Amino acid sequence: MARIFLIGFMGCGKTTLGRKLAARLNYSFFDLDQLLEEQAGMSVAEYFSSFGETAFRVAESEILKQTAYPENAIISTGGGLPCYFDNMAWMNANGKTIYIQLSAKALASRLEKGKDERPLLRDKQGDELVNFIADKLAERESYYKQAQIIADGFGLTAEKVTDLLHIS
């Protein structure tokens, strides 16, 4: 039995890798942001602007803990989720956690494109974006590093993750 939680900063590749990993292992795939969007009937960006970040943090934690995961599941989490409430401890107690680690510089170049859907980033560009990412990452790494496995996100493949997990 394996429930695998993918954690890490926005843009580190949790969703893309999670889908590939689930397909490779024949596990079910869950994306917590997507579940929240389905349940709320609106995008994450709309949720932030309608209800604010504090309400979003409560909602994402509830979805994390209340979803009925099957025995074998890959769960991709939102970038802030491990840093609120007891979410990190809960994931460690209920499955395996993998931190997909990338530098702030690498994240910034990957996020130039997808930043519009991300309420924390959408109004930032250039140096302001890079500095925001560096500061936020520094603030969050102590949570991310509580993961059971830390994987270098550079060139990470589903195959490498299965090796790290010792499953095939």
Give residues in contact with ligand S3P (CB under 6 A). Answer: 10, 14, 33, 44, 78-80, 118-120
**Helix, coil or strand: residue 152:** strand
**Helix, coil or strand: residue 20:** helix
Residue type, 99: Y
The minimum distance between CB 45 and ligand S3P, in angstroms, equals 7
- CA gap 35, 31 in Å, rounded: 6
When the beta carbons of 119 and 143 are compared against ligand S3P, the nearer one is: 119
The minimum distance between CB 40 and ligand S3P, in angstroms, equals 12
The minimum distance between CB 167 and ligand S3P, in angstroms, equals 24
When the beta carbons of 138 and 163 are compared against ligand S3P, the nearer one is: 138
Q: Which residues contact 40 (CB under 8 A, 6 or more apart)?
A: 47, 59
Q: Tokens in use for 88?
A: 């990190």
When the beta carbons of 38 and 163 are compared against ligand S3P, the nearer one is: 38
When the beta carbons of 116 and 152 are compared against ligand S3P, the nearer one is: 116
The minimum distance between CB 12 and ligand S3P, in angstroms, equals 7
Q: What is the CA radius of gyration of the chain?
A: 15
Q: Which residue has the tokens 């349940």?
A: 39
The answer to whether 133 and 108 have CB atoms below 8 angstroms apart is: yes
Question: Which residue of this chain has its Cβ atom nearest to ligand S3P in the complex?
Answer: 78
The minimum distance between CB 125 and ligand S3P, in angstroms, equals 17
When the beta carbons of 78 and 95 are compared against ligand S3P, the nearer one is: 78
Q: Which residue has the tokens 């889908």?
A: 19
